[in-house]
Amino acid sequence: MVERAPVIAAWGAGVDSTAMIIELVERGEPIDMVLFADTGSEKTDTYAFIPVFRHWMDRHDVASEIVRYEPRNFKHWPPYDSLGTNMLTNATLPSKAFGRGSCSLKWKVAPQDKWTAQWAPAIRCWGEGGRVVKLIGYDCSGADQRRYAHAEGYADPRYDYRYPLRELGWTRADCVARIERAGLPVPPKSSCFFCPAMRPHEVDALSKDELRTIVLMEARAKPRLRTIEGLWRKPVVGRGGAIPRPGNITAYVRALGLLPPSEVDRIVADAPLALVAFQAAQARKPVEQRMSMARWLDAFHRGQSAG
């Protein structure tokens, strides 16, 4: 029999999972490892918060690791290493834009599970017939209630899932207050910077490079879109208290002047063609000699800034 199953906290670097870790640590409850799965496309403010909270965890003797999905088979594509460059490579949008759920399985869950499969406490636990406890930061708000309802009853032979915030009856506001009481900055909502679930005010807070990437992503995918307009799928007219917005984020960026209209026009007209030409040129080279999508994207941003 296992004396105590090892405990892993799935940390998204957002409000809920951060507050969950703080509260359990302050209560003296065991957390043996905190895992953050980096898609390579998190928000700039999220990347700024990660070292701040990892320092807090270090001071409280909480071990943490950053894990990543590592694409390997690029066929005739330039190598890519993030969810964003994956989307640009395939001229598509995240699955949530098409109403097919989220990207979390491939880029979030799988790399955490792969890391855990090589973790000695987990191997020992499973060898003795036990299950690793995985802490999930779903709160009692409406959105997390739906996610919890979807996950409830799911049986996994390797894990027992625990939802501490729901045990405590905490909402997102409670989580914000808990982080503030710990003397830490409140992180932004955890998501990729081009997540279709973002609200307009979240787009307002993005950096210029993030906005440019969104414009490029939607322009690159547009020829293949049949039933949706872009990352936001379809327009919201604003009935019932909903915030009106277009079906693509590019139109919102243009309307609010988050980027100069001339720059938006230039990206839409030129950048997808330049990207296609780059991919075609790289396809003629052996894989080991191909330039990565990340390097091309860096050059794209430098060119836009200079222009």
CATH number for the domain harbouring residue 58:
3.40.50.620
pLDDT at 143 over 70: no
Pair (206, 142) in one structural domain: no
For CA atoms 222, 223, 229, 231, give the dihedral sign.
Answer: negative
pLDDT band at 2 (very low <50, low <70, confident <90, very high): very low
Predicted structure pTM score: 0.90
Q: How do residues 81-98 score in pLDDT, each as one tens digit?
A: 999 999 999 999 999 999
In a domain, 192, yes or no: no
pLDDT band at 243 (very low <50, low <70, confident <90, very high): confident
In a domain, 57, yes or no: yes
* Predicted pLDDT of residue 150: 45
**Structure-derived torsion over alpha carbons of residues 193, 12, 93, 205, reported in degrees to the nearest 10:** -20
Pair (118, 19) in one structural domain: yes
**Contact call for residues 135 and 8 (beta carbons, < 8 A):** yes
Considering its fold, how many domains does the chain have in total? 2
Pair (86, 40) in one structural domain: yes
Distance of CA 303 to the CA centre of its chain: 26
Q: How far is Cα 290 from Cα 299, in angstroms, rounded to an integer?
A: 15
* Predicted pLDDT of residue 100: 81
Pair (42, 112) in one structural domain: yes
Pair (205, 297) in one structural domain: yes
Q: How do residues 245-287 score in pLDDT, each as one tens digit?
A: 999 999 999 999 999 999 999 999 999 999 999 999 999 999 8
* Type and span of the H or E element at 272: helix 261-283
**Contact call for residues 190 and 46 (beta carbons, < 8 A):** yes
Pair (18, 147) in one structural domain: yes
Q: How do residues 45-61 score in pLDDT, each as one tens digit?
A: 999 999 999 999 999 99
* Predicted pLDDT of residue 1: 43
In a domain, 256, yes or no: yes
**Contact call for residues 231 and 220 (beta carbons, < 8 A):** no
Mean pLDDT of the chain: 91
Full residue range of the structural domain in which residue 152 is found: 7-182
Q: How far is Cα 289 from Cα 64, in angstroms, rounded to an integer?
A: 35
Pair (33, 149) in one structural domain: yes
